[in-house]
Amino acid sequence: MTSQTADLGERASGDERTEYAIGAKVSAAHFTSHVFYLVLPPLFPLLKSELNVGYVELGLAITLFNILTLVLQTPMGYAVDRFDARSILVAGLCLGGFAYLLFAAIPTYPCMMACFSLGGIANAVYHPANYSILSSSISPPRIGRMFSLHLFAGYLGSATAPAAILFLTGIAGYRLAVAAAGCLAFVVAVPLILDIFERSANARKASVPARDKSAATAPPVRILTPAVIALTGFFALISLSSTGISNFAGAGLHGAQAMSLESANIALTGYLLATALGVIAGGVIADRTLHHNAVAALGFALSAVFVLLVAVLSLPGLAVIALLSAAGFFSGIIQPSRDMMVREAVPEGAAGRVFGVVTTGFNVGQAVGPLVFGIVLDHGHPAWIFAITAGFMALTALSASWSQWRKQRVQSVAASEISEAA
């Protein structure tokens, strides 16, 4: 993938320390993006009364966030291929930070909708920009570890955000907690801004190679292959599987399991932390198997069982935390295999754009899920959150199983044709 970052001299240096520094900065941005997505959902029970709205209205804000990301993420992928990825990433960070500072200053429902709108625009930047920077700046022997670090940082952000927001809310109020989250973006942006100045100075001292625009101008038909379209649907199912737990587990457990809101969000934190740990284990598994679809199917099937137990049984708090943590761990294990499935479907020279298209499936699920789960909560059925989530996980497992069967069938037919030709 060519990009403006390469034109400005951003290329693999071969120096391990330098490349790990780049990976750390980009991973910090990914951490921040996941924190931003979970700044307000843990506060929904509080904001419901503070803003005098229902869960459907709160879910609509998340839907708006994801619709904007859905619409803009693929165009952002093209923009990143043509312009400086770090500058676009910094702009996204600053826009997201400003959105939360705005809501902290004016805590009203219209302002919350504006916050989610700006956040959705900013969120469209992260994946295309992050992967462009890593792809052009990291040497092949380290690229796999950098992708793992990037993925782990995102899940770590999701895992720590609810507890951090609730802790800050408890000691200083929700407005200060939201403002602190907004300030995080500007802190993370500083080293990236310094890099931009340094690279611009270096570019002025050296001749800049001509830009290859072929990646940015390739027709969409070269990207929207049947495999890519199928993977986009698969990603939508993955998103639907996790949206209920990520955004409404606190309120759901508070009602279904008669847990305090604090204990419910501890269970959510356990789920997200276990997911982050599962990502590490999943990286080892993905490197040792070619059956990535089978890994995804088994992981989601086991997760569905654990989540369904939370839905149908009345359990003590520790048992709920253990079951959700187990579900999170197996959900994390499948993530590297999921990415390997995407890599196998990428046409040559189109990795960045394909990633931008496929990950819009996440936003489809995240746009639809909050409305579905918000309606469930407003009608007084919190346990259904986990039953519906388990159902989506089961569908995802079936989708991965079908994909594995189709892959083996194609390979078998190809092998037969070669044998007959011989």
Measuring CA to CA, which residue among 326, 38, 30 is closest to residue 160? 38
pLDDT digits 0-9 by tens, 43-67: 888 888 888 888 888 888 888 888 8
Angle at CA 76, nearest 5°, toward 73 and 79? 165
Mean pLDDT of 283-291: 75
CB neighbours of residue 289 within 10 Å:
12
Percent of the chain predicted with pLDDT > 90: 19
For 33, 81, 112, 181, 247, the CA distances from 59, given in Å and listed in that order, are 19, 33, 12, 20, 9
CATH superfamily of 1-206: MFS general substrate transporter like domains (1.20.1250.20)
Contacts of 321 (CB under 8 A, 6+ apart): 266, 267, 270
CA pair distance 415, 375, nearest whole angstrom: 50
**C-alpha separations of 129 from 88, 90, 188, 361 in Å:** 7, 10, 15, 18
pLDDT higher than 50, residue 178: yes
Q: What is the reported pTM? A: 0.69
Query: 120: which 2 tokens?
Result: 């959705």
Task: Locate the domains of the chain by residue range.
Answer: 1-206, 222-417
DSSP characters over 253-303:
HHHHS---HHHHHHHHHHHHHHHHHHHHHHHHHHHT-S-HHHHHHHHHHHH
- State the CATH architecture for 222-417: Up-down Bundle (1.20)
The count of other CB atoms within 10 Å of the CB of residue 395 is 15
User: In residues, how long is the chain?
Assistant: 422
Residue 185 identity: A
Q: Which one of 179-188, 325-334, 369-378, 388-397 scores highest in mean pLDDT?
A: 179-188
Same fold, 1-206 and 222-417: yes
